[in-house]
Amino acid sequence: MKKFFTIIGAALVFTSLLMAQNTLTVNHTTPDGMAAEITAALSGADPATIATLAIAGDAYVTFNDCRAIRAVFTTSSLKTLDLTNAKFENDSLPGIPPSQSPNNVGAFNATIPYEEGVSPTDANGLAVTEVKLPVNIRVIGNRFFRKFKQLTTIVLPSTVQHIGPGAFNVCEQIKYINFPAGLKRIDDYAFYQCYRLGLDQLNPVDELPEGLEGILGASAFRETSCFFEYIPEGITAIGASCFKAGSTSAIILPGTSTHPSYNEGSLGLTIYQNVASIGGGAFQGQKWIDNIEINRMTPPETGTDAFTGIGEGSFAAVDLYIPIGTTVAYDIDPYKQMNQHAALPPISGVSKVEKINLQVYPNPAIDKINISLEVGQVRSARILDLTGAVVSNLNVANSLSFDISSLVKGIYILQLNDNTFSKFVKE
């Protein structure tokens, strides 16, 4: 009997040790000292037995510290990276240092050695399924989570304001991510090739925070499964290939497009007046878009193939809703290929429309333009650039011939009486 209890006791001790090994807490006290600190914390234990790695301590976690973590836990049972009690300089998860080469390799997705100045090989990031972040993080650094291909669970703290370039690039398994209300900026390739992002039917990724401003990054949501029907009013430009769809084969899920499977109907897209440019391929291949609202008196400068492949591949099937009085301004590709409806209230608030047969000549022009109307028909006139900004208010009291010699070369919009428009070219 004594021997039996001895065996049971030994088994319990072994189990206790195994459980203790499943979670490893590293006390980080020296910047760039993570490698030695992990070795000390392991105390000879096999890294392959660790399921949760928790980083604590008063020292900032650096780019090289992250590289050290990956060097130890390249092949292991690690499932959770707990950074709840970790500290980061300027509350920013470290991006790629200026000296790092190649610059597409992030803190965790590189092979060893990880010494400064040694060019690593681009490889997968940590194989964890869950990451826990500090509550005060403001910035997700450049490519910090790149190629965390098994990541399924992460919650962005309410303090996050900026998601850096490629921050979640190729996080193939993640289906949902929250966007904090205070998020201001999403950079290039932020979620590129997060194929399943948006496929969580209980938690759809279908709204961007209203506080976003500036440029919505190029390829930021390219080849994902999420779609946003409203582009926030603070956005001034949509980057190239921002929402470009991927091929079915790239999505991995048979028969699934780059839209949520629960969106079986058509989709609308609303673009507010501050969007001055839409990059090439921005919405390419998003075939479920069948109606677009552009709340802008002049069309955004639009790159090649920005809308190619929408409306089941045909522009003719797409309804375009634009402000009253802007039909002439939108008589350019790709907008003139859509079914136009001048139905939205004019940005100026003018609701009464006067039909005027307007011609501007010569067009192109070098020094002057003329209007084929009589002075009494025109109450006001101004020249807009393609961003909608007023570049010249014109005096219409005595003449409808205007000097444009001071304008730089380009395309302009002549606006009369707030609701009549005509394009002309200054050479």
Predicted confidence band at 137 (pLDDT cuts at 50, 70, 90)?
Answer: very high
Query: Would you tell me how many other CB atoms lie within 10 Å of the CB of residue 265?
Result: 7
Q: Are 72 and 104 in contact (CB under 8 A)?
A: no
Q: Is 395 exposed, middle or buried (0-12, 13-18, 19+ CB in 10 A)?
A: exposed
Q: For residue 319, how many other CB atoms are within 10 A of its CB?
A: 16
* Burial (CB count <10 Å: 0-12, 13-18, 19+), residue 263: middle
Note whether 424 and 364 are within 8 A (CB).
yes
Q: What is the per-residue pLDDT for 238?
A: 97
Beta bridge partners of 215: 237
Each residue of 307-333: pLDDT tens digit?
998 887 667 678 899 998 888 899 999
With H, G, I as helix, E, B as strand and everything else as coil, classify residue 338. Answer: coil
Q: What is the pLDDT at residue 343?
A: 81
CB atoms within 10 A of CB 199: 22
Torsion, Cα 68 72 73 77, to 10 degrees, reads -150
Q: Is 279 in contact with 240 (CB distance < 8 Å)?
A: yes
Peptide bond into 113 cis (omega under 30): yes
60: three-class secondary structure by DSSP:
strand
**Token pair belonging to 221:** 């949501």
* Confidence band of 171 (pLDDT split at 50, 70, 90): very high
Domains of the chain, by residue range, sit at: 19-138, 175-353, 360-426
Note the CATH number of domain 360-426: 2.60.40
Tokens of 41: 């914390």
**What's the CATH architecture for 175-353?**
Alpha-Beta Horseshoe (3.80)
**Quick check: helix, strand or coil at residue 28?**
coil
Q: How many residues does the chain have?
A: 427
Q: In what order do the strands lie in the sheet with 162-163?
A: 92-93, 139-140, 162-163, 185-186
Q: Is pLDDT larger for residue 101 or for residue 96?
A: 96
pTM, entire model: 0.77
Q: What is the mean pLDDT of residues 85-90?
A: 98
1 has a pLDDT exceeding 60? no
Q: Over the stretch 21-58, which tens digit does the pLDDT of each residue have?
A: 499 999 999 999 999 999 999 999 999 999 999 999 99
> What is the dihedral angle through the alpha carbons of 94, 99, 103, 106, rounded to the nearest 10 degrees?
-30
Q: Which residues pair with 132 in a beta bridge?
A: 82
| C-alpha 414: how far from chain center | 34
Q: What digits encode the pLDDT tens for the residues 255-289?
A: 334 443 334 456 789 999 999 999 999 999 888 88
Tokens 């090439």 identify what position? 280
